[in-house]
Amino acid sequence: MHETTNISQGGTSIKNSNWTARVIGMLFILSGAVNLQAQDKLFKAGDYLNRELLPKAITRLAWRGNMDAFTYVEKDNLIQKAAADQNRADTILTLTDLNLKLKNLKQDELRHFPGLNWLDNYRLYYIDKAKVFLYDFAGSTLVKANEFDKDGENITIDEKNLHVAYTIKNNLFVVINGEAIQVTDEKNENILYGQIPSRNEFGIDAGSFWSPDGKLLAFYRTDQSEVADYPLVDIFNRIANAAPIKYPMAGMKSQKVELGIFNPDLNEIVYIQTAGPENQYITSVSWDPSGRFIYAGILNRDQNHLEMNKYECNTGNLVKTLFEERNDRYVEPMHGLYFIKSDPSKFIWQSRRDGWNHLFLYDTGGKMIKQITHGEWEVTALLDADPQGNSVFYESTMDSPIERQLYKTALKTGKTERITNTEGTHQMLASKSTNYFIDIFSSTKMARAYYLIDQKGTKLATLREDENPYKDYKIGEMSIFKIKADDRHTDLYCRLIKPVDFNPAKKYPVLIYVYGGPHAQMINNTWTGGAGFWLNFMAQQGYVIFTLDNRGSSNRGFEFESIIHRQVGEKEMADQMTGVSYLKSLDYVDTTRIGVDGWSYGGFMTVSLMLRNPGVFKVACAGGPVIDWKWYEVMYGERYMDTPMQNPEGYKKASLLNYAGNLSGKLLIIHGTNDNTVVWQNSLTFLDECIKQGKQVDYFVYPGAEHNMAGNSRVHLFNKISGYFNDYLK
């Protein structure tokens, strides 16, 4: 689900002997993840806001242009270190000096260093209060390079010339060399320019795209005229105001999307010529390095056929379709084209066409040169190719689905090398030369660390280590292991946290935390195993905490994820019940006190488990739950369920309204009244059905809240949920 609230970072009994063959990798247990000799302090819900309990970070960390040197902010100083000389740290700019230059420009001073963006070896820019400032280290000069309207949104910066594109309401503007140009003057508020379409699906994270030379601006035009208004209400006025949103529900009228190209010199717009139905998607927008062409993936509304097309920028005409991808379930493009810097006639495309996300090398004529990576594992991040175009660097799950390691593959020979050698999760910042990497590392034994490594994986320097921010607190023992799904073949990863002061002779209540949907993986080899604050907080209160990544979750290949197609809730629930059977096999689990909690897709799973397995779960709490998928939006909903007209039986089986009469035990549902992801209608109609069925259900709303709760509201949420389980399960 494209927006989730993970509050952990948010059958019948089976005898122990029957689990011997089914529990795989118990030697894989990663206990000792947290210091078991901690002090006696316990969390309070409000500690969620205590920054001292977060792993320590290095602020504003970045490589400096093409140099093998990196910068970061420490104590209001911008520090530089050269990769080849870690014994020396140079202060290259202070906040005091920066503020002095701002004062000379008669600009507002800064309280802290802002986000800094290196343009090249000597220049960086930052944005403050709708102004773009350029600092040049060659002459130690600061200038105000550009300025845009303070009401501007959807801001895109051209990093060649520092031109700015932005939107005000539904129209698009640019500022070039200080001159504001209104690109569109659309009076119909249902037509949007320069905004992210398709509800942020398909990896789309911007509404406009500057060409490499900054001379052209591509942008989305989104026509929502036929999309129904959904009636949200702003209650924070004497008379509550209607605050409707456009919400295209599965099977209903959707957006019409086009891709335009604005030429500021000519003050002209051309639109790329996309054939096909109006309700298709335009994804993976990528500029050709020459700036003469633009590439776009055209995905049909059924989301099972993608065409990657090349267009002329000056006319919008189709040059050719480079390739097509089809799948009976769905095709989900998530990335743009990555062009090889040493040879811009070649690019890398990421695709799951062979069942796993891999890298494919193409030329700009559409010829596939080769598949670069192969195997039953996923590339999770494409980092860069070396400047010579000999090798490509990427993070992947090659050695374990719950880890991320750095790899290098030669483009000619396909020879692959693993670079990192420590079990855990590695996220990389690559220098432009790819000679060096900053490894942001986490594992069950290390909350967060920053290491400088070279291409061979040799650790050159430790920049920072924060082994355990919870060291002063009493934490339950955590383990990660695998069990088999009901097909007796598929591995399912599980995480279990024992209560603090665990006594194997006692019987404990269990809290199962579930998400279960695509684009999420709850269990990984990171600090706390991915459990985070709240689940450890609940373990301190005497619960066995259990989470299982069922089929349908991410980073395990297309078949593992897409098995839910047209039948959401079925395989996911079967896997979760396999986890319940495992829990029932444990001598220290009180099988009469099993609870379940989840949010968003996890809310759907929570209510499904409670209603479709009556008597198994004593207490459940579901936040922002999808109750009936016909009330969910087009882009996500139709990918996994098709339309209600195409798949009536699937929608009927997944609708939790049909199971309300099965409710036994205690169920708390929580919803934000202005949830624009899982609309309030879902849980309200479930309440109505419970009333009809004579079933009691507990309910709590967060007035004005959307799909997430933050800050003090999140602390309140933690207290609400934990209090409910303590009252009825503990």
Q: Give the residue numbers marked as catalytic.
A: 600, 675, 707
Q: Kindly state the helix (H) or strand (E) to which residue 103 belongs, with its residue range.
A: helix 95-104
- Both tokens of residue 124? 């960086």
H helix intervals, 486-531: none
Phi and psi (nearest 5°) for 209?
-145, 115
Contacts of 550 (CB under 8 A, 6+ apart): 492, 516, 571, 572, 573, 574, 575, 576
Query: Rounded CA gap, 49 and 264, in Å?
Result: 46
Phi and psi (nearest 5°) for 115?
-65, 125
- CA distances (Å), 500 to each of 37, 255, 356, 543, 596, in order? 11, 51, 40, 9, 20
Q: How far is CA 347 from the centre of its chain?
A: 25
Q: How far is CA 340 from the centre of its chain?
A: 26
The answer to whether 132 and 177 have CB atoms below 8 angstroms apart is no
The answer to whether 418 and 405 have CB atoms below 8 angstroms apart is yes
H helix intervals, 106-200: none
H helix intervals, 442-547: 532-540
Q: Kindly state the helix (H) or strand (E) to which residue 102 belongs, with its residue range.
A: helix 95-104
Q: Coil, strand or helix: which one is 157?
A: strand
| Rounded-to-5 percentages of helix, strand, coil across the chain | 20, 35, 45
For every residue of 691-711, which 3-state class applies, written as one string? HHHCCCCEEEEECCCCCCCCH
Query: Rounded CA gap, 436 and 406, in Å?
Result: 12
The answer to whether 182 and 191 have CB atoms below 8 angstroms apart is no
Contacts of 723 (CB under 8 A, 6+ apart): none
- Both tokens of residue 658? 């049909």
- Both tokens of residue 126? 């930052």
Query: Rounded CA gap, 193 and 185, in Å?
Result: 10
- Both tokens of residue 680? 């309030």
Helices 601-612 and 570-584 meet at what angle, rounded to 10?
60
Q: Kindly state the helix (H) or strand (E) to which residue 91 belongs, with its residue range.
A: strand 85-94
